Chains A and B, each alone.
Chain A
Amino acid sequence: MKNYKNPDENGYYGEFGGAFVPEMLFPNVEELQNNYLNIIESSEFKEEFRDLLKNYVGRATPLYFAENLSEKYETQIYLKREDLNHTGAHKINNALGQALLAKKLGKHRIIAETGAGQHGVATATACALLGLECIVYMGEVDIARQAPNVARMKMLGATVIPATSGSKTLKDAVNEALRDWINNSTTTHYIIGSVVGPHPFPDLVARFQSVISEEIKWQLKEKIGRENPDYVMACVGGGSNAAGTFYHFVNEEDVKLIAAEAGGFGVDSGKSAATTFLGTLGVLHGSKSLVMQTEDGQVIEPHSISAGLDYPGIGPFHANLFKEKRAEFFSINDDEALKSAMELTKLEGIIPALESAHALAVLEKKKFRKDDVVVICLSGRGDKDMETYLKHL
């Protein structure tokens, strides 16, 4: 079996990855490349990070056997409850890890981009805890549709700056954050929220999120006597919760990986964010991956009902899984995600984030065997999406 887990020394997963940054960012990226593994693998860092994950974030998150959902879909469904983390999503794992790393690198100013606001809230939280200045870039459209998270970020002391270019969503927030980083390169660390960006960000974020699959392994062993499920499933925008969910299984052939992308109004509608269906090889935000773009190489503005999946690319880790057919990708439309969110709420009393609802919607699309063990990452909780849900009730 091939090694899908970590990139090569130049940051490549197969043909995807690398570090395509202008010289203005090279010193920062090089500093990270040269130091990230030494720092995050040191026993001092590990101890501090583990302690925070346990006592501050509330890990381990439960691996919950969803009996009613299992009955409906005639298979064995477990939900990895990342929605129960402090701040309500998996994003806190990475934000805390990177904020700690930034401190070790002597940076006191943090910038971040956010789509749904979960990464922004997580970063603002980590910065409040660790005494770091925090600036969050967020698309103007996303600011309007994720008001509760904007309020939380501000209360946590972060400055929220609207990205007003392009589609005014996640892609544009990344652009603005990269501009800020170029203009403040020596003082600032950019906490990228997904497995995108120049090397080493995809690997760094995947490692911080890998706590998800690490826990699934021992939790499943406790529950059913074996570490490996038959399927692990997660939604993919940039792909951080999916990378964390797949991480410890990706090199194990007996586990099938399923990724759910945001189909928006449908892959053929012109209003979609399903990158593996619509994307081609390109360079966006510092790495070579699959990108939704025109024939002329102009990036297409994506659409998804979920702000967190509204991104016209995927991380190089996932692009490689797609190309190598190691993971199966599904495109889930807005209405299918909404339906699955309502269903989980009704059957299990859990209101999921719209992003996570995309992963749940795969249950309608794929037939599982009765004794299959299917683990779905419930990446975040739905409080932030109440306004959207209420509109569609």
Chain B
Amino acid sequence: MTNTDNIQHPASNIQHHKKLNIYFTAGIPGLKDTTEILKIIQSSGAEMVEIGMPYSDPVADGPVIQKAHELALLNGMTIAKLFEQLKSVKSEIKIPVVLMGYINPVLSFGFESFCRECAESGVSGLIIPDLPPIEFEKNYRQILEKYRLNFSFLVTPETSDERIRYLDSLSSGFLYAVSSSSTTGNASKEINNGQYLQNLAALNLKNPVMIGFGIKSKDDFQKVTANAAGGIIGTAFVNILLEKGDWKAKGTSFIRSIIN
């Protein structure tokens, strides 16, 4: 993998389709399925992949991803094992790989060692939702730059314009816009925030904007990405991995159904 941007060709947003980023938790349904899932996501036509690093206390996630984390930990997934798996498919995966997780396991691994492993495993960027910008600037930014890793901050409908600009200035690769201020996969909230997405687009941010949280269907995807570079689907895909049955076929057809 040679790509160092989370999003390849950000200027290509004018393409007829928006970029699809698929999230899944490493270590489900089985410990060693990560590499196969990566290949499926790539071959089905998604342009990016976001891999969740399992954590015992994933407070920003809803019940589905929380369950995925629990299962992954039961299966024995660790950050070290994930890096091994990523290295084994490094030459085959061409789409950008982003790791998403909570700060505690990353700190336990050692932040600099973690970044070095990321660089060696072909990871292009990180999302750590509970790492605040003030900590990022003080302690971590330089390390990320040293290993040429991108970092995407989250913004929500409640984030002020001033803070969006600040978080955009610290981010690279893309800015992660949470569709509604909620945990992941919140089914009770309808995605109805055209104003917020238009506002984001009007801010002329330096990074392309990817929309995530609560996207379940092609319809949702098209709606939320109208004014963005692309969208991130997590819970709906993780559900397929958690269900009994042929997740390879189902996963492939799900991704294709969003793009086509």
* A interface with B by C-beta (< 8 Å): 10, 18-24, 26-27, 165-166, 171, 175, 178-179, 182-183, 185-186, 280-286, 291, 293-299
- Of the candidates A19, A179, A293, A297, which one forms a contact with B62 in the assembled complex, judged by CB atoms under 8 Å apart? A179
Q: Is A24 a contact of B181 with CB atoms below 8 Å?
A: yes
Q: Which residue of B lies closest to A176 (CB)?
A: B59
User: Total contacts A to B, CB within 8 angstroms?
Assistant: 103
Q: Using Cβ atoms and an 8 Å threshold, which residues of chain A touch B158?
A: 24, 27, 185-186
Q: How far is the CB of B210 from chain A (nearest CB, A)?
A: 14
Cα A58 to Cα B98 in complex, Å, equals: 56
Known: A185-B181, A281-B107. 11 other contacts (CB 8 A): A20-B130, A23-B167, A24-B183, A175-B59, A182-B60, A182-B181, A186-B181, A282-B107, A282-B108, A283-B104, A293-B108
Q: Is A282 a contact of B155 with CB atoms below 8 Å?
A: no
- Of the candidates B56, B178, B181, which one forms a contact with A299 in the assembled complex, judged by CB atoms under 8 Å apart? B56
| Most chain B CB inside 10 Å of its own CB: which residue of A165, A185, A280, A282 | A165
Cα A24 to Cα B167 in complex, Å, equals: 13
Q: Using Cβ atoms and an 8 Å threshold, which residues of chain B touch A285?
A: 57, 59
Q: Using Cβ atoms and an 8 Å threshold, which residues of chain B touch A299?
A: 56-57, 104
Known: A21-B130, A23-B178. A298 touches B73 (CB 8 A): yes
Say whether B78 faces chain A, with CB atoms less than 8 Å apart: yes
- Of the candidates B62, B103, B155, which one forms a contact with A20 in the assembled complex, judged by CB atoms under 8 Å apart? B103
Cα A294 to Cα B108 in complex, Å, equals: 9
Q: Using Cβ atoms and an 8 Å threshold, which residues of chain A touch B107?
A: 281-283, 297
Q: Is A23 a contact of B154 with CB atoms below 8 Å?
A: yes
Q: Is B108 a contact of A295 with CB atoms below 8 Å?
A: yes
| Most chain A CB inside 10 Å of its own CB: which residue of B70, B109, B183 | B183
> Which are the 5 A-B pairs with shortest beta-carbon distances?
A297-B108, A297-B105, A22-B129, A23-B154, A298-B56
Give the contact stretch, choosing among B7-15, B40-48, B131-139, B197-205: B131-139
Cα A283 to Cα B181 in complex, Å, equals: 22
Known: A178-B59, A296-B79, A298-B55. A23 touches B66 (CB 8 A): no
Q: Using Cβ atoms and an 8 Å threshold, which residues of chain A touch B88?
A: none
Cα A281 to Cα B106 in complex, Å, equals: 12
Known: A182-B181, A298-B55. A282 touches B135 (CB 8 A): no
Say whether B186 faces chain A, with CB atoms less than 8 Å apart: yes
Q: How far is the CB of B254 from chain A (nearest CB, A)?
A: 25
27 pairs, CB–CB < 8 Å, chain A vs chain B = A21-B132, A22-B154, A23-B129, A23-B156, A23-B178, A24-B60, A26-B159, A165-B70, A179-B183, A182-B182, A182-B183, A183-B182, A183-B186, A185-B158, A281-B107, A282-B104, A283-B103, A283-B130, A291-B104, A295-B108, A296-B108, A297-B105, A297-B106, A297-B108, A298-B73, A299-B57, A299-B104
Q: Which residue of A lies closest to B130 (CB)?
A: A20
Cα A20 to Cα B134 in complex, Å, equals: 10
- Of the candidates B57, B66, B155, B156, which one forms a contact with A284 in the assembled complex, judged by CB atoms under 8 Å apart? B57
Cα A280 to Cα B130 in complex, Å, equals: 19
Q: Using Cβ atoms and an 8 Å threshold, which residues of chain A touch B60?
A: 22, 24, 179, 182
